[in-house]
């Protein structure tokens, strides 16, 4: 059941090999190459306490989940991975594993809305307070640290929907100087494009609902760590709090993970062509993509990411109404929240994903559109945008 042993043969292999093989050896009895969906809550013991492979009860461990957790650890180059019922369940478990009442966290001033709500409306009531700061500004993140009380410096990079970039190596140094841990929400980049643990982060968070699952058919979350003491705390809380991924969800997520590399390359290919198309378009005022040399975080992104990802944000020339019209007219780009699936999505952050931050410092421009560029035929995506913008 120990995941690092499962990954013995794949520890030094390339990304795709790890994504496909780590975490599971073909089943002893049948030779099945894919981890079965172990739809079982409990396990027969060979005499009291005589557990087979450590399996006792499926909240504590389930082989379908163990396989996914081993693979997640391998693709992030961590020691242990943990799979949860959702990204927010992973975050909640992490917060309660590593902080307590009276502690403090630094969080992105443009954090994913659900993450902000978890800190602001749930963790705060429990006694953990937080200070938002810009992830692109290392000094501001450092200044937000409360010496002795800050336990977590929490960043996303790229952020949503403005695709701001944080320098993971520099932020790790700042957090560690203050005796805090660096947590990186790696959902937008995916482990294929960026591996924060290698750059000094202590914990990686994922909403596996997005690129890791990749097919918009399952909600899930993950944590990956290098340090075994941190891993033990998370393992204890994962079992104590119980927000685990069920075997069916773990199976789907693991199935998605195996093709992450090829999907991400196509997401990036298509996003680059969309950026090129939008950059020259008369109805587009500004294109926001970390791959553009004009993007403030471009150099850091180029250093810490393999490519620049599948999310593209842009502002239109005609104000909010024009942005809403474009969203309404798009056909191949489906109007919807979420991101990271094979299908292209379009959304208006101001009225949709970021409606709750209207009127605050986190408000996003009203003429902003966010695209999750999928892996459809690129000519169809460009024709759709051309029609929608006309």
What residues make contact with ligand PLP under the rule CB under 6 A?
86-88, 112, 114-115, 156, 160, 185, 187-188, 207, 209-210, 219, 221
Q: Look at residues 225, 186, 181, 199 and name the one whose alpha carbon lies nearest to residue 82.
A: 225
Least spacing, CB of residue 221 vs ligand PLP, in Å: 5
Residue with tokens 């944080």: 166
Least spacing, CB of residue 255 vs ligand PLP, in Å: 17
**Phi–psi pair at 80, nearest 5 degrees:** -140, 145
* Residue closer to ligand PLP, measured from CB, 116 or 314: 116
* Residue closer to ligand PLP, measured from CB, 158 or 291: 158
Q: Which of 151, 210, 307, 370 is catalytic?
A: 210
* Residue closer to ligand PLP, measured from CB, 6 or 159: 159
Q: Look at residues 151, 146, 89 and name the one whose alpha carbon lies nearest to residue 118.
A: 89
Q: Which of 55, 112, 192, 211 is catalytic?
A: 112
* Residue closer to ligand PLP, measured from CB, 135 or 316: 135
Catalytic: 43?
A: no
* Residue closer to ligand PLP, measured from CB, 106 or 316: 106
On the CB side of 77, how many CA atoms lie within 13 Å of its CA? 16
Strands 203-207 and 345-347: unpaired
Distance separating alpha carbons of residues 43 and 66, to the nearest angstrom: 15
Q: Which of 92, 109, 167, 185 is catalytic?
A: 185
Distance separating alpha carbons of residues 254 and 65, to the nearest angstrom: 9
Least spacing, CB of residue 279 vs ligand PLP, in Å: 25
Whole-number Cα distances in Å, 351 to 93, 111, 118, 320, 364: 30, 17, 21, 10, 10
Least spacing, CB of residue 240 vs ligand PLP, in Å: 20
- Where would I find the beta strands (DSSP E) of 116-246? 129-133, 150-156, 181-185, 203-207, 221-225
Distance separating alpha carbons of residues 156 and 154, to the nearest angstrom: 7
* Residue closer to ligand PLP, measured from CB, 142 or 207: 207
Catalytic: 210?
A: yes
Catalytic: 185?
A: yes
* Residue closer to ligand PLP, measured from CB, 68 or 316: 68
Catalytic: 386?
A: no
Environment class of residue 337 by beta-carbon count within 10 Å: exposed (0-12), middle (13-18) or buried (19+)? exposed
Least spacing, CB of residue 338 vs ligand PLP, in Å: 7
Q: Look at residues 247, 53, 287, 193 and name the one whose alpha carbon lies nearest to residue 184.
A: 193
Report the residue number whose CB is nearest to ligand PLP: 87
Residues 6+ apart with CB under 8 A from 18: 7, 10, 71, 74, 75
Distance separating alpha carbons of residues 55 and 341, to the nearest angstrom: 33
Instruction: Number of helices (H) and strands (E) in the chain: give both, helices first.
Output: 15, 12
Least spacing, CB of residue 24 vs ligand PLP, in Å: 23
The packing angle between helices 247-258 and 63-75, to 10°, is 30
Distance separating alpha carbons of residues 247 and 254, to the nearest angstrom: 10
Least spacing, CB of residue 91 vs ligand PLP, in Å: 7
Active site residues: 59, 112, 185, 210
């Amino acid at each position: 059941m120990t995941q690092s042993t499962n990954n013995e043969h794949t520890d030094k292999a390339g990304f795709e090999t790890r994504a496909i093989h780590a975490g599971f050896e073909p089943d002893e009895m049948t030779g099945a190459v894919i981890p079965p969906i172990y739809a079982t809550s409990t396990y027969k013991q060979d005499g009291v306490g005589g557990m087979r492979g450590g399996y006792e009860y499926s909240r504590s461990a389930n082989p379908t989940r163990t396989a996914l957790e081993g693979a997640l650890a391998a693709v992030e180059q961590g020691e242990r991975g943990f799979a949860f019922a959702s990204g927010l369940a992973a975050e909640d478990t992490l917060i309660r594993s590593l902080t307590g009442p009276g502690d403090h966290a630094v969080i992105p001033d443009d954090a994913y809305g659900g993450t902000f709500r978890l800190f602001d409306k749930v963790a705060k009531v429990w006694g953990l307070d937080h200070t938002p700061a810009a992830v692109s500004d290392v000094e501001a993140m450092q200044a937000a640290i409360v010496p002795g009380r800050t336990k977590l410096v929490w960043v996303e990079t790229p952020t949503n929907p403005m695709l701001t970039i944080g320098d993971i190596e520099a932020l790790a140094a700042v957090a560690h100087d203050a005796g805090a841990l660096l947590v990186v929400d790696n959902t937008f980049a995916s482990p294929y494009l960026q591996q924060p643990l290698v750059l000094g982060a202590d914990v990686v968070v994922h909403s596996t609902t997005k690129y890791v699952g990749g097919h918009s058919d399952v909600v899930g979350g993950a944590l990956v760590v290098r340090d075994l003491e941190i891993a033990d705390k998370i393992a204890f809380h994962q079992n104590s709090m119980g927000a685990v991924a069920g075997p069916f969800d773990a199976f789907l997520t693991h199935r998605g993970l195996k093709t992450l590399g090829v999907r991400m390359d196509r997401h990036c290919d298509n996003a680059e062509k969309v950026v090129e198309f939008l950059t020259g378009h008369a109805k587009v005022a500004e294109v926001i993509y970390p791959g553009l040399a004009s993007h403030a975080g471009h150099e850091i992104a180029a250093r810490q990411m393999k490519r620049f990802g599948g999310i593209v944000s842009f502002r239109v020339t005609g104000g909010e109404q024009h942005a809403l019209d474009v969203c309404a007219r798009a056909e191949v780009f489906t109007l919807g929240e979420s991101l990271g699936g094979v299908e292209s999505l379009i959304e208006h952050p101001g009225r949709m994903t970021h409606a709750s931050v209207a009127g605050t410092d986190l408000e996003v421009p009203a003429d902003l559109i966010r695209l999750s560029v999928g892996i459809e035929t690129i000519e169809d995506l460009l024709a759709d945008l051309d029609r929608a913008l006309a």
